[in-house]
Amino acid sequence: MGLVTLEAPLLASTVIVPVLAAVISWLAGEKISSKSHAVLNGGSLLYSLLIFVYIAYSAGLDNIVRDPAYWTIDGLGTFAFVLDPIVFPVAISIAAVTAMVAFYSIPYMEHRYEELRHEGEEAPGWGAYFFLYTLFAASMIGSVLTSNTIEFYLFLELTLIPSFLLIAFYGYGDRVRIAILYLIWTHVGALLFLIGALSAGFKIGFDFINIYTGMPKLGIGDAGLAGDLLWATLALMVIGLLVKMAVFGVHIWLPYAHAEAPTPISALLSPNLIGIGGLMLFRIVYTLFPKSLDQVSTYLYAWAFLTMIYGGLMALVQTDFKRLLAYSSVSQMGYMLLGIASLSIYGISGALLHYLVHAFGKAILFLVAGTLIATLHGLRQIPKMGGLATKMPYTAALALVGFMHITGIPPTAGLWSEYLIVRGAVEKSFNMGALSFTLMSIALLIGIGLSTAYAFFTMKRIFYGSLPKHLDDAHEAKDSLIVPMIVLAAIGILVFFYVFTIINPMIGYLEHLG
């Protein structure tokens, strides 16, 4: 484990290049075609993905990699872009999903524009859409590459503005009200985190992680704070990030925002944005407060199980496909929280790998939902579907791959993330006693059983059984909808076979950190 300084600011370019593409789209507006916008913006995000892969190959996944330039601001600490074994699976997930969804956006948003015109409404054109879309993607990439807590907060807040506008301009239902609901909840979460971060920063400085100088300084918050201030700071930062994750009790905004956002944006919100809260729960809060977090980890552990089970139950009873997927995301964040709350090397590794698994699996599923909407004249009500595998075999196969990801069935990396999370949960429950182990076993059986039930029950209801008469003219979706999903499915399956190139560096990093 070492610190590698790049010769050029390649990490910064993974944010700057997409931002430049977004600005060009804004300036070009309707002067260029929608396909040109997609190539420009999707290509810029593919560039980010290739840079991450190149850095991992050239510098080694087991090293901490930083740009050659970083900036120190009095009172705010040092701002840098850093890639380490913990961040790598998250960064490549965001870049890959946002790139493919950019290409998928063309046929889907053509359908959405037509719907809006039919409703007598006009939405901003392609230039505005891709400007907001790529700013959203770039700000997510920037948020995970940060090495300073205030830098993270700035990028996290930057994700809110374009995503809010995308929901308000292009969403479904009462989209303005839902966009405001989304903005208020997620802004409050970020603000709680900021208040906690400022409280700690005034005592110990804002460079909580200090990765730009090497390994993080573990436990500086435990050493620098005490008493009520310590617990208040910890609570604010944890709850703020849990709002971002949309765990049980602070999840109210998610089913509305993720179900009623335009589907390409749902495919970014649900698997990518909410998982960043889980990453930073480890990367910032655990780094700052390892001893204090250990004392409250039992509560987080129970909260994780409650989230898994609640999200699974709610998903099971939904009739709207996108709303089902939204509640599924609540449940999946329970898995991620469970791995982190175990404070086990294997559990944390599993949680961060699960970010990647959920990113690919849930993105595919939301894109399947969008494909059904665009192909079947806006249909998203599950009871009105059935037997579609005979009419849409490729879409059905891709839906199956998506559900296999989130239920941990090979050949998807969900098998490995689920194994590592369960291993971490078992390790923690053993340390807590026989009663805890028994309750953990029951909760795991219920949580995993619910995930499997809603996944394959939904597959049966949509794609198998008898075909309703009103779907006699159903047909397979156009290639421009199918191909991006195939690419995401292929990458997700490829990770299954090369997963230890990601897991081993994470485990080595955590062992060295601890």
Using one digit for the tens of pLDDT, what is the confidence trace for 65-106?
999 988 888 888 889 999 999 999 999 999 999 999 999 999
Pick the range with the lowest mean pLDDT from 136-145, 396-405, 434-443.
434-443
Cα distance between residue 96 and residue 50, in whole Å: 9
255-259, long-range: CB within 8 Å, 24+ apart, which pairs? 255/314, 255/323, 255/326, 255/327, 255/330, 256/178, 256/181, 256/182, 257/167, 257/178, 257/179, 257/181, 257/182, 257/326, 258/322, 258/325, 258/326, 258/329, 259/172, 259/320, 259/322, 259/323, 259/325, 259/326
- Tokens coding 367: 């894109």
Above 90 in pLDDT, residue 461? Answer: yes
- Say how far apart CA 308 and CA 302 lie, in whole Å: 10
The pLDDT score that the predictor gives to residue 431 is 81
Q: Which of 13-27, 217-231, 241-255 comes out lowest in average pLDDT?
A: 217-231
Q: Residue 13 above 80 pLDDT? A: yes
What is the bridge-based pairing of β-strands 77-79 and 82-83? Answer: unpaired
Separation in Å, CA 409 to CA 145, 338, 416, 504: 30, 19, 9, 21
Strand pairing report for 3-5 and 64-66: parallel
CA 273-274-278 angle, to 5 degrees, is 115
Retrieve residue 448's tokens.
């995993």
Report the number of distinct structural domains present in the chain.
1
- For 319, the domain range is 3-513
Q: Please tell me the number of Cα atoms within 13 Å of 54 on its side-chain side.
A: 11
> Exposed (0-12), middle (13-18) or buried (19+): which is 468, by Cβ within 10 Å?
middle
Neighbours of 444 (CB within 10 A): 20
C-alpha span between 85 and 503 (Å, rounded): 9
Query: Binning pLDDT at 50, 70 and 90, where does residue 423 land?
Result: very high
For residue 485, how many C-alpha atoms fall within 13 Å in the half-sphere facing its CB?
A: 29
Average pLDDT over residues 250-255: 95
pLDDT digits (tens, 9 = 90+) for 182-200: 999 999 999 999 999 999 9
* Secondary structure element (H or E) that encloses residue 4, with its range: strand 3-5
Which three-class secondary structure state does DSSP give residue 408? coil
Residue 152 pLDDT grade (very low, low, confident, very high; cuts 50, 70, 90): very high
In sequence order, which residues have a C-beta less than 8 Å from that of residue 357 and are 6 or more positions away?
A: 405, 406, 412, 413, 414, 417, 492
436: confidence class by pLDDT, cuts 50, 70, 90: confident
Alpha helices in 342-433 (DSSP H): 345-375, 393-407, 414-432
Q: Across residues 428-452, what is the average pLDDT?
A: 90
